Amino acid sequence: MTPLRQRMIDDMQLRNLAPGTQTNYIHHVAGFARYYWRSPEELDIEDVRGYLLYLLNDRKLSAESVNQCTTALQFLYLTTLEMPWSRECFPRAKRPLKLPVILSHEEVLAFFDNIPSLKYRAAMMTCYGAGLRVSEAVVLKVSDIDSKRMLIRVEQGKGRKDRYVMLSPRLLEVLRRYWRAFPSLGYLFPSWRENRHLSTGTLQLACREAAARAGLRKHVTVHTLRHSFATHLLEGGTDIRIIQALLGHSRIDTTTRYTRVSAQLVASVSSPLDRLDHKPMDRLDSKPKSNPKR
């Protein structure tokens, strides 16, 4: 390991960055160094711009992927190398606005009916029933299920934050049935490997297979269940601030995007056309009058 890499790792640990974030940053910086076959210490901001353009134009990476690389290089140069540059030296690619895929209630039922494994069905019902990210669901412990208070404790979710989400009676019934079949004192959804939890990749694969068996034409991932959870709560009249807290969003504008995908809310809005006087509409049924001046 080079001294620069070790110093960057130390800086990330001092700032308590998540292990996944640390791995992601090192991956992008290593790719940057390989592209030029030189140490980042010998490169400047023009080299950074050239590499980001290469990712966009030659490798055709998405704006989100390029922005992740930008963040990693920004941390390297501004924090670890302490270069006298500003954040404006690291421009961000504009991300296209994409609305999340949402399942209807009927599609959610069909989806769950096509998960043959009790463990996978319980895990994905937890994602939908509590709005959890797949990475949060797989690391749940049995002790995180508080049946007396009807809460689930999410420990160190995204952003290294703890939070509580609701435990619905129906989900509790499913989890109890699952636990009786597969009793565990550690992880709620353990892996076949000892002292390990179920991997996110395994659950994503089970999700794709269930969606295919259910005949869903939409692109369904485990995260789709979280999107559907939020949208269905919104359509049910739950306050947007409560949904923000349940999802663990730091910013309300992240949560308000669900108002753009709620078909029920869109359909309930009255068009200004419907507010027009009906008398002008009656004229559509009558024949146009001839112009006597013609």
Q: Which residues are catalytic?
A: 133, 158, 223, 226, 249, 258
Q: Can you tell me whether residue 211 is helix, strand or coil?
A: helix
3-89: CATH topology is: DNA polymerase; domain 1 (1.10.150)
Q: What are the φ and ψ backbone dihedral angles of 214, each rounded to 5 degrees?
A: -80, -10
3-class SS at 12? helix
pLDDT of residue 277: 59
Classify 105-266 by CATH class.
mainly alpha
Q: How far is CA 288 from CA 276, 283, 285, in A?
A: 20, 8, 9
What is the per-residue burial (b if ≥16 Cβ within 10 Å, else e) of 268-289? eeeeeeeeeeeeeeeeeeeeee
Backbone angles phi, psi at 218, to 5 degrees: -75, 155
DSSP string, 256-293: GGGGGT-HHHHHHSPPGGGGS-HHHHHGGGSPPPP-TT
Average pLDDT of each block of 10 consecutive residues along the chain (294 residues)?
93 90 95 95 94 94 93 96 93 81 92 93 93 92 92 80 88 92 89 89 95 94 92 86 85 76 60 56 52 54
Instruction: Give counts: helices (H), strands (E), the chain.
Output: 14, 3
- Amino acid 8: pLDDT: 96
Residue intervals in the chain for CATH 1.10.150.130 = 3-89
pLDDT for the residue 90? 94
pLDDT of amino acid 270: 57
Measured CA to CA, the distance from residue 219 to residue 101 in angstroms comes to 7
Taking alpha carbons only, the member of 207, 209, 191 closest to residue 199 is: 191
**Alpha carbon 134 to chain centroid, angstroms:** 9
Domain with CATH 1.10.443.10 in the chain: 105-266
Assessment of whether the complete model's pTM goes beyond 0.85: no
pLDDT reported for residue 195? 85
**CA quadruple 218, 220, 225, 231: dihedral positive or negative?**
negative
Considering only CA atoms, give the Rg of the chain.
26
**Residue listed under structure tokens 């690619």:** 93
3-class secondary structure, 164: strand
